[in-house]
C-alpha cells in the first residue's frame, strides 16, 4: 500500500496525549535499557526521553554511554585523546547526574565536568595528569557521592600527611570511596570534619587500629566498608569478625565499571549490600541479646531490647 494513500488520521496516535506519555514513561522506567529504542519511535518521544539517555555518563575501557566523542560509537579504550562532542554535551550536560570517568586525561575530565553542573555522583579512576586544577570545578558541583584516589589531587602531600578533607568540595558528601587507601590514621584524620558523611569505603590496605579510630572519630558514620580479594587473605591486619555492625567487609567486585553503573541505575551495589549486612548483624546481635536475657529469666518485656 502506498503510504501517501493512508489517511492522515492514522498517522496520529489515537491515545490521549497524557496517557500516551504515561505509557512511555512506565516503559522507560521499567526497562531503561530500551530508551535508545524508544527515542526513535517518534519525534515527540525523542523529545521526552533523549535527556534520560544522559542521566548516566560512563567513559572508560569498554563501553561508553552515552556517545561522548565526535564520530564514534560506544567503544573507547585506553587513554587515547578524542574530541568531546561539545555541542551534544552542552545540550544535555545539565541532565547528567552520575559520571564515571576511568583512564581518562585530566583535561578531558575538565571538559566533561564543565558542562555537567548537576552531577551528584562522581567516580574518577586512573587519571592521566594532575587533577589540582579540577578542585574549583568540583567545588561547584552538588556532590553527594564521590569515588577517587586522593593522590591525583594532592600530589605534594607526604605519605602520612593529612589529606585536607576540610575543603568545600567534600562538605556535602554522604558517600565517599577512597581508592588506594593506606592504614595510617594520620592521613585520614580530617574525615572526622565531614559533617554529612554517613557512608565510607576504603579500598586498599587497612588495619584494625584504623578501623577503630574511624568509628570513634567519625560520629555520623552509618556504614564503613572495606574490601578483600580472598577471605583467606585480607589485606592489612584486621579481624574478619567486627564488633561494630557498621563495619562491613565485602569481597571485591570483579567488574568495577559495570558494578558502578548498576548502582547509578538504582540497583544493588556494594553500598546497598553493606546496608543489608549491617542490618543482618544487628538482628543477630539483638537475637543473641534476647536469648541471653530470656535465659536469665528476666521476663518477656526484656525480649524487645534492640541495639542502637
Give, rounded to a whole angstrom, the gap between the first and last alpha carbons of the chain: 72
Alpha-carbon Rg of the chain, whole angstroms?
24
What are 73's three cell numbers? Answer: 560509537
CB 146 within 8 A of CB 122: yes
C-alpha pair distances (Å), 42 with each of 20, 39, 47, 48: 12, 7, 9, 10
Residue in 82, 79, 83 with CA at minimum distance from that of residue 128: 79
Specify the pTM: 0.80
- How many CA atoms lie less than 13 Å away from 121 in the CB half-sphere? 17
- d(CA 132, CA 90) in angstroms, rounded, equals 24
Q: Which of 16-25, 70-79, 140-149, 299-308 has the highest mean pLDDT?
A: 140-149
Q: Which residue has the cell 560506544?
A: 74
Give residue-wise pLDDT tens across range 180-220.
998 889 999 999 999 999 999 999 888 889 999 999 999 89
- How many CA atoms lie less than 13 Å away from 85 in the CB half-sphere? 16
- The DSSP code for 224 is E
Is 50 exceeded by the pLDDT of residue 302? no
- d(CA 296, CA 290) in angstroms, rounded, equals 10
Q: Tell me which of 226 and 72 has the higher pLDDT.
A: 226
pLDDT at 2: 46
**Rounded mean pLDDT of 35-62?**
74
pLDDT at 123: 98
Q: What is the percent of the chain where pLDDT is above 70? A: 74
- d(CA 66, CA 53) in angstroms, rounded, equals 6
**Rounded mean pLDDT of 73-88?**
64
- How many CA atoms lie less than 13 Å away from 83 in the CB half-sphere? 7
pLDDT at 9: 44
- d(CA 192, CA 182) in angstroms, rounded, equals 16
Q: Tell me which of 223 and 12 has the higher pLDDT.
A: 223
pLDDT band at 85 (very low <50, low <70, confident <90, very high): confident
The DSSP annotation for 16-82 comes to: -HHHHHHHHHHHHHH-GGGHHHHTTT-HHHHHHHGGGGGSEEEESSEE-BS--BTT--SEE-TT---
- The DSSP code for 193 is G
Preceding amide of 152 cis, omega within 30: no
Q: Tell me which of 258 and 63 has the higher pLDDT.
A: 258
Give residue-wise pLDDT tens across range 97-139.
999 999 999 999 999 999 999 999 999 999 999 899 999 999 9
Q: Tell me which of 225 and 302 has the higher pLDDT.
A: 225
**Other residues' Cβ atoms within 10 Å of the Cβ of residue 102:** 18
pLDDT band at 270 (very low <50, low <70, confident <90, very high): very high
pLDDT band at 45 (very low <50, low <70, confident <90, very high): low
pLDDT at 278: 94
Q: What angle do CA 219, 171, 168 make, to 5 degrees?
A: 145
Is 90 exceeded by the pLDDT of residue 36? no
Is 50 exceeded by the pLDDT of residue 42? yes
SS3 95: helix
Q: Tell me which of 221 and 288 has the higher pLDDT.
A: 221
pLDDT at 174: 98
Lowest mean pLDDT among 26-30, 82-86, 159-163: 26-30
pLDDT at 261: 92
CB 137 within 8 A of CB 109: no
**Other residues' Cβ atoms within 10 Å of the Cβ of residue 152:** 20
Is 90 exceeded by the pLDDT of residue 44? no
10 phi, psi to nearest 5 deg: -80, -15
- Helix %, strand %, coil % of the chain (to 5): 45, 15, 40
Please name the helix (run of DSSP H) or strand (run of DSSP E) that holds residue 294, with its range, or none. Answer: helix 270-295
Q: What is the percent of the chain where pLDDT is above 90? A: 47
pLDDT band at 47 (very low <50, low <70, confident <90, very high): low
CB proximity list for 299: less than 8 A, separation 6 or greater: none
Amino acid at each position: 500500500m502506498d503510504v501517501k494513500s493512508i489517511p492522515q488520521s492514522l498517522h496520529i496516535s489515537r491515545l490521549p496525549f497524557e496517557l500516551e506519555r504515561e505509557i512511555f514513561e512506565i516503559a522507560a522506567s521499567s526497562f531503561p535499557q530500551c530508551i535508545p529504542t524508544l527515542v526513535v519511535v517518534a519525534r515527540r518521544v525523542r523529545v521526552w526521553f533523549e535527556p534520560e539517555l544522559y542521566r548516566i555518563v560512563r567513559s572508560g575501557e569498554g563501553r561508553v554511554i552515552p556517545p561522548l566523542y565526535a564520530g564514534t560509537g560506544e567503544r573507547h579504550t585506553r587513554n587515547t585523546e578524542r574530541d568531546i562532542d561539545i555541542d551534544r554535551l552542552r545540550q544535555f550536560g545539565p541532565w547528567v547526574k552520575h559520571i564515571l570517568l576511568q583512564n581518562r586525561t585530566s583535561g578531558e575530565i575538565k571538559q566533561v565536568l564543565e558542562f555537567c553542573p548537576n552531577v551528584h555522583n562522581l567516580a574518577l579512576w586512573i587519571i592521566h595528569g594532575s587533577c589540582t586544577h579540577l578542585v574549583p570545578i568540583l567545588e561547584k558541583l552538588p556532590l553527594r557521592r564521590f569515588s577517587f584516589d586522593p593522590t591525583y589531587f594532592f600530589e605534594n602531600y607526604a605519605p602520612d600527611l593529612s589529606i585536607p578533607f576540610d575543603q568545600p568540595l567534600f562538605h556535602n558528601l554522604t558517600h565517599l570511596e577512597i581508592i588506594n587507601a593506606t592504614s595510617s590514621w594520620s592521613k585520614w584524620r580530617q574525615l572526622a570534619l565531614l559533617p554529612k558523611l554517613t557512608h565510607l569505603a576504603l579500598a586498599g590496605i587497612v588495619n584494625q587500629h584504623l578501623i577503630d579510630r574511624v568509628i570513634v572519630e567519625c560520629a555520623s558514620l552509618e556504614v564503613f566498608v572495606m574490601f578483600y580479594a580472598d577471605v583467606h587473605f585480607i589485606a592489612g591486619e584486621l579481624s574478619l569478625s567486627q564488633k561494630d555492625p557498621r563495619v562491613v567487609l565485602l569481597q571485591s567486585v570483579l567488574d568495577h565499571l559495570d558494578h558502578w553503573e548498576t548502582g547509578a541505575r538504582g540497583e544493588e551495589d556494594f553500598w546497598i549490600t553493606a546496608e543489608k549486612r549491617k542490618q543482618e548483624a544487628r538482628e543477630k546481635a539483638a537475637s543473641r541479646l534476647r536469648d541471653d536475657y530470656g535465659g536469665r529469666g528476666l521476663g518477656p518485656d526484656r525480649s524487645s531490647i534492640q541495639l542502637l
